[in-house]
């Protein structure tokens, strides 16, 4: 499988990354291990997890995914062949991460997070340690098509980016992490992190992990230029729009055992006119003789600005299809057809 470099680092990763967030709730530990075995046998070398996982977040399963990943690496003895990414939560009122209090991107909370992740993962260092979401009060995903908050609305105790970066500098120097990544970040936020690091404060952000898929191409509006000019890699998550680009929810269907059926957490992909957009892309895939899930993943993997496509699956057949997308030849005809729909429907699910 083709490999690509993350930012200006020495990390070289497969163009498909195996996402892990279902392991510990929708998937058992054995199923997670089976997924990792299959993905790595097909050339994947990149795993993405987080202290938040498994999903949906709750105190009794928080950190379960990192435990599963850690047990797998220990059992296989393959830490040196795994590029491992994890994440620290940003500002959150959920109190179970820090033992009974809210969390922010301050020194005590970041240090607490990384030590707990290292213990669960049973490793000495994390290759790419990402800020899961900002400390700032901004819409989830950071790239809305309309502003959601009042102009200038900020938390009184907002943590300065330079302060957060200084903590990551400590972690790099201590050898606990190798590189810094951002996630759910905006163009302004990414540039502020880069500007501070260019002034000598903390490590330079190597990547940004944002949602990118057929119904959310907001990355292209501003962040694509930032990332291209600043050598910051896009790690694209949610290529299937939480399953809506598989076709399984077409016409209002709710299959038994599917994530939206189980958890009612897909509001990002249930916006006005989103269903029509999902259906249009899913029918387009079928017109090209492809399963919608294969088509949607192939689209993301094929983009020149995507360093790695973070796939997710709850079954081996789903994983097989996601991995197969790496071998799809994306044609100009496919791109034109996708762009024709996008011109009509825009980004209904930012």
The set of catalytic residues is 53
Cite the beta strand spans of the chain per DSSP E: 3-5, 12-14, 16-19, 46-48, 83-88, 126-131, 177-183, 205-211, 233-237, 306-311
- Which helix (H) or strand (E) element contains residue 319? helix 316-324
List of E strands, 135-285: 177-183, 205-211, 233-237
User: Rounded to whole angstroms, how far apart are CA atoms 243 and 350?
Assistant: 15
Radius of gyration of the chain (CA): 19
Interatomic CA distance for residues 5 and 235, integer angstroms:
11
The answer to whether 36 touches 72, Cβ cutoff 8 Å, is yes
Backbone angles phi, psi at 102, to 5 degrees: -60, 165
Q: Is 147 helix (H, G, I), strand (E, B) or coil?
A: coil
Residue bearing tokens 């944002």: 210
Confirm if 196 and 202 have CB atoms less than 8 A apart: yes
Tell me the torsion sign for CA atoms 50, 70, 30, 83: positive
Q: Which distant-in-sequence residues (6+ apart) come within 8 Å of 162 by Cβ?
A: 196, 201, 202
Residue 41 and residue 35: Cα distance in Å, rounded?
10
Q: What is the DSSP letter of 151?
A: T
Name the 3-class secondary structure at 291: coil
d(CA 188, CA 146): 16
The answer for residues whose C-beta is within 8 angstroms of residue 102's C-beta and 6 or more apart is 91, 92, 93, 94, 95
For residues 174 and 146, the answer to whether their CB atoms sit within 8 Å is: no
């Amino acid at each position: 499988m083709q490999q690509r470099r993350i930012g200006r680092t020495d990390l070289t990763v497969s163009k498909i990354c195996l996402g892990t967030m279902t392991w510990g709730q929708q998937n058992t530990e054995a199923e997670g291990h089976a997924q990792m075995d299959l993905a790595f046998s097909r050339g994947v070398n990149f795993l993405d997890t987080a202290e938040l996982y498994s999903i949906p977040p709750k105190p009794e399963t928080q950190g379960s995914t990192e435990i599963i990943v850690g047990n797998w690496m220990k059992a296989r003895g393959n830490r040196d062949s795994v590029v491992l990414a994890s994440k620290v939560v940003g500002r959150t009122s959920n109190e179970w991460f820090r033992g009974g209090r809210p969390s922010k991107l301050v020194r005590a909370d970041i240090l607490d997070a990384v030590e707990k992740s290292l213990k669960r993962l049973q490793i000495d260092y994390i290759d790419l340690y990402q800020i899961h979401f900002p400390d700032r009060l901004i819409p989830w995903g950071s790239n809305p098509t309309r502003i959601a908050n009042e102009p200038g609305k900020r938390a009184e105790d907002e943590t300065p980016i330079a302060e957060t970066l200084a903590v990551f500098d400590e972690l790099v120097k201590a050898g606990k992490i190798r590189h810094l990544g951002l996630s759910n970040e905006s163009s302004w936020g990414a540039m502020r992190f880069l500007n501070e690091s260019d002034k000598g404060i903390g490590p330079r952000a190597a990547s940004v992990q944002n949602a990118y898929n057929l119904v959310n191409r907001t990355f292209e509006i501003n962040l694509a230029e930032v990332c291209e000019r600043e050598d910051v890699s896009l790690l694209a998550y949610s290529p299937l729009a939480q399953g809506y680009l598989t076709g399984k929810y077409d016409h209002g269907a709710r299959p038994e055992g599917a994530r939206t059926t189980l958890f009612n957490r897909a509001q990002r992909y249930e916006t006005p006119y989103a269903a029509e957009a999902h259906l249009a892309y899913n029918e387009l895939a079928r017109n090209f003789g492809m399963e919608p899930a294969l088509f949607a993943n192939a689209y993301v993997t094929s983009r020149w600005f995507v360093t790695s496509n973070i796939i997710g699956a709850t079954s081996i057949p789903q994983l097989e299809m996601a991995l197969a997308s790496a071998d799809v030849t994306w044609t100009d005809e496919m791109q034109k057809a996708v762009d024709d729909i996008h011109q009509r429907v825009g980004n209904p699910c930012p």
